[in-house]
Amino acid sequence: MSPARPAAVVVLAAGEGTRMKSAIPKVLHAVGGRSLVHHAVAAAAQLAPEHLVVVVGHGRDQVKAHLAEVAPEARTAVQDQQLGTGHAVACALADLPDLHGTVVVTYGDTPLLTGATLLELVATHADRGNAVTVLTGELDDPTGYGRILRDASGAVVAVVEQKDASEEQRAIREVNSGIYAFDAAVLAETLARLTTDNAQGELYLTDVVGIVSGRGERVAALPVTDLWQTAGVNDRVQLAAVHRELNRRTVEAWMLAGVTVVDPATTWVDADVTLEPDVVLEPGTLLQGRTSVGRGAVVGPDCRLVDTEVGEGAEVSNTTSYGAVIGAGATVGPYTYLRPGTRLGRKAKAGGFTELKNAELGDGAKVPHLSYVGDASIGAGTNIGAGTIFANYDGVTKHHTEVGEHSFVGSNSVLVAPLEIADGAYVAAGSAVTARVEPGELAVARGKQRNIRGWVARRRAGSRTAAAAERAEHSGAHAEQGDPTRQHHEHDQRKGRDA
């Protein structure tokens, strides 16, 4: 076993988190598209420990189910009663074989802690031969934190909790992060000696420091200047604060990698999003889940893309998308809704005020505006006119519509599924199509227009509409009297009707 590889990492995640005032366990609240505990185990996993153990308690079934999805390599240990951090670690070790090497202890509510910092902690611990190494930070206001006590030589001798500290000790600004590296044998032996002789009546993990130091074994601190890494979440205010800071770091990292972010303050990018160089993110953009954006694509303004793939050079504006694939060079928006199962081919278009669900547009196909396309395949080069509805649901079952390549569907048509429109076919505007249209055919499915003369005068007498019609007829009559050609045309029309 490499000295840098710990025997175990223990993530403490059993607390109820009452200050969150939530039915959801605290560690399942999300920042940057991941739960708090997901961030914690992702950082821990970078150490490649022999054992990764998450201690669960409150909401254990929910937390276990979540961990099985996001970190199947992690095992769980149950802390039935929250009797302190020392008790929680003891619960973790009870589920493990005898350990040799380093045991790291961290928390399930510190989402900004990085794997790099944990690697430095483990390396420092091993290189110096410490029995205990604690991660510390210096705060202007250390209220609420355990204080690091040092002797005259600067060696760490103890950690004292806020409630147990004297006034002199409370003035100390160096605080305990609660994140440690322990020699496994030392930790196991010392945990058995902890007592509840403190203000909380709990088994403090911090007391291990005093016990180990008191018998002359080496205890050291690794100070960190990036205090956000040790910031825990106890309420919704802190949740928002760490989310904002995580997003700032994420967006900044993408900008340094070659992404243009026009307004970082209004751009939110989840931890699992991937972006290629020369992507442009306009203001008001939210990229969530496992969204990916290809080189040179422009997203925004005002977009929310969740688990969406955006191809190279595509343009997406004012769009909400869930689980869609947007091809290279395609255009989407404005005010477009792409639902799961939607796939847009190369240079395809889903225009303004359109909704697509489980729909595939071939290369160059267009749904320019004001249409609903559900459960459909549209061939390359086909154009769907404005206001077209793919009527996919009969009240019981969803049905599919197939529109071939280089076909044309006129505006305000209804395509009633199941339906097939072949390659190179036309549908006349305003049609309600229910039967197959063969290649090269024009489908016309609408009633013949009939104009009822004098209807307004009879049914809307005295209205502004009737007055306007009367004026128009009067002016039209005068115009006809002065136009011999029109008079002759009308005479021919009358003769034709009389015949």
Q: Does domain 8-230 have CATH number 3.40.50.150?
A: no
Q: Which amino acid is at 339?
A: R
User: Among 304, 271, 287, 290, which residue's Cα sits nearest to residue 35?
Assistant: 271
- pLDDT of 417 above 70: yes
Name residue, tokens 């199947």: 72
User: pLDDT band at 479, cuts 50/70/90?
Assistant: low
**3-state secondary structure (DSSP) of residue 293:** strand
Q: Which two tokens mark 39?
A: 């961030």
Question: How far lies 176's CA from each of 96, 161, 236, 242, in Å?
Answer: 26, 9, 23, 19
**Closest Cα partner for 11 from 38, 50, 48?**
38
Backbone torsions φ then ψ of 428, nearest 5 degrees: -70, 150
Check if 369 is active-site: yes
The DSSP bridge partners found for residue 160 are: 147
Q: What pLDDT, in 10s, does the model give residues 361-411?
A: 999 999 999 999 999 999 999 999 999 999 999 999 999 999 999 999 999
* Residue 180 bridge partners (DSSP): 105, 134
Q: Please state the domain extents for the chain.
A: 8-230, 236-443
- Quick one: pLDDT at residue 477? 65
Q: Bigger pLDDT: 144 or 495?
A: 144
- Both tokens of residue 2? 């490499």
pLDDT at site 1? 39
CATH H superfamily, domain 236-443: Hexapeptide repeat proteins (2.160.10.10)
34-78 pLDDT, tens digit per residue, is 999 999 999 999 999 999 999 999 999 999 999 999 999 999 999
pLDDT tens digits, one per residue of 205-241: 999 999 999 999 999 999 999 999 999 999 999 999 9
* Prediction pTM value: 0.89
Main-chain phi, psi angles of 347, to 5 degrees: 60, 25
User: Exposed e or buried b for every residue in 180-216, given b needs 16+ CB within 10 A?
Assistant: bbbbbebbbebbeebeeebeeebbbbbbbbbbbbeee
H or E element, residue 254: helix 236-256
Residue 492 has pLDDT above 90, yes or no: no
Selected catalytic residue, list 29, 87, 125, 369: 369
Task: Yes or no: say if 277 and 294 are a contact pair by the CB < 8 Å rule.
Answer: no
Interstrand relation of 34-35 and 30-31 (parallel, antiparallel or unpaired): antiparallel
> Is the predicted pLDDT of residue 151 greater than 60, yes or no?
yes
Is 44:11 a contact under the CB 8 Å cutoff? yes
Rounded to the nearest integer, the mean pLDDT of the chain is 93
C-alpha separations of 6 from 47, 51, 225 in Å: 7, 8, 24
Distance CA 31, CA 16 (A): 18
CB 307 within 8 A of CB 290: yes
> Is residue 146 within 8 Å of 175, Cβ to Cβ?
yes
Of 340, 342, 406, which is closest to residue 332 (Cα–Cα)?
342
**Does pLDDT of 123 surpass 90?**
yes
Share of the chain above pLDDT 90, in %: 88
Q: Report pLDDT digits (tens) over 332-364.
A: 999 999 999 999 999 999 999 999 999 999 999
